[in-house]
């Protein structure tokens, strides 16, 4: 158990819908990262927040947005969902905000768009 | 875009044998990390090696880094059935405004046969 929690574990929805994925980082970790893992694209970095502020942005679509709240939990919002958005979405956390820090991954949310 | 490429894509060995996985990358790095992922679960950090290090050990794991060849290898000695998993290398990449992200390879799927 990494100490990172993600809800829900599974999500099935239809095209065009909007969903919210939630992540609670390990106690004491200030950074939260979001990743998307699919068979064709592999593990792709989406976005990072550090202590409530956006720190780094990766291959995140404009239909997707995220935020980190004062209690450091984070939410990833996916809207106007398409079939290709079906994937595993992971949240990770680390103490610091650089790539020298070990990242602790949550169990993931499996999103299926029908 | 993928930075690291693991080789081989899949590896199947007998329990007790050693397993070697390789990772090649394209641009200069500050550090390289290896992660393990059990099927459909979150990634687990194994080891981080900095660009000025050539070799690092952790238990049954040995990681080497050759920055002149832009490659790294992960050796698992005396393999066990529990080592069955996918193994990913991750390298750091600079983004705009000094931010960084981890870029993961496609992974090596390791199967340990009893």
Q: Which residues of A touch B107 (CB under 8 A)?
A: 42
Q: How far apart are CA A68 and CA A23, in angstroms?
A: 9
Tokens of B81: 């059935």
| Chain B residue set in contact with A, beta carbons under 8 Å | 2, 30-31, 33, 35, 40-45, 48, 50, 88, 92, 95, 99-107
Beta carbon pairs, A and B, within 8 Å: 60
**Residue with tokens 């998307």, as numbered in its chain:** A36
pLDDT band at B1 (very low <50, low <70, confident <90, very high): very low
| Residues 6 or more apart in contact with residue B13 via CB below 8 angstroms | B19, B79, B110, B111, B112, B113
- pLDDT of res. B4: 67
Could you tell me the end-to-end alpha-carbon distance of chain B, in angstroms, rounded to an integer? 36
Q: How far apart are CA A87 and CA A74, in angstroms?
A: 19
- Write the pLDDT tens digit of every residue in A12-53: 999 999 999 999 999 999 999 999 999 888 999 999 999 999
Q: Give CA torsion, residues B23, B99, A41, A104, to 10 deg.
A: 70
């Amino acid at each position: 158990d990494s100490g990172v929690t993600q809800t829900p574990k599974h999500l099935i929805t239809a095209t065009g819908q909007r969903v919210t994925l939630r992540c609670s980082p390990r106690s004491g970790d200030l950074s939260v990262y979001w990743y998307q893992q699919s068979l064709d694209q592999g593990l792709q970095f989406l976005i990072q927040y550090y202590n409530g502020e956006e720190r780094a942005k990766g291959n995140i679509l404009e239909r997707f947005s995220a935020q980190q709240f004062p209690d450091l939990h984070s939410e990833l919002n996916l809207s106007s969902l398409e079939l290709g958005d079906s994937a595993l979405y992971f949240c990770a956390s680390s103490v610091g905000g650089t790539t020298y820090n070990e990242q602790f991954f949550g169990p993931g949310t499996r999103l299926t768009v029908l | 875009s993928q930075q690291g490429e693991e080789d081989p894509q899949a590896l199947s060995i007998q329990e007790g044998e050693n397993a070697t996985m390789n990772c090649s990358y394209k641009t200069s790095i500050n550090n390289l990390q290896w992660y393990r992922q059990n099927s459909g679960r979150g990634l687990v950090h194994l080891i981080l090696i900095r660009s000025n290090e050539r070799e690092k050990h952790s238990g049954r794991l040995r990681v080497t880094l050759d920055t002149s060849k832009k490659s790294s290898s992960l050796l698992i000695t005396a393999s066990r059935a529990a080592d069955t998993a996918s193994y990913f290398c991750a390298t750091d990449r600079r983004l705009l405004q000094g931010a960084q992200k981890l870029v993961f390879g496609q992974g090596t799927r390791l199967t340990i046969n009893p």
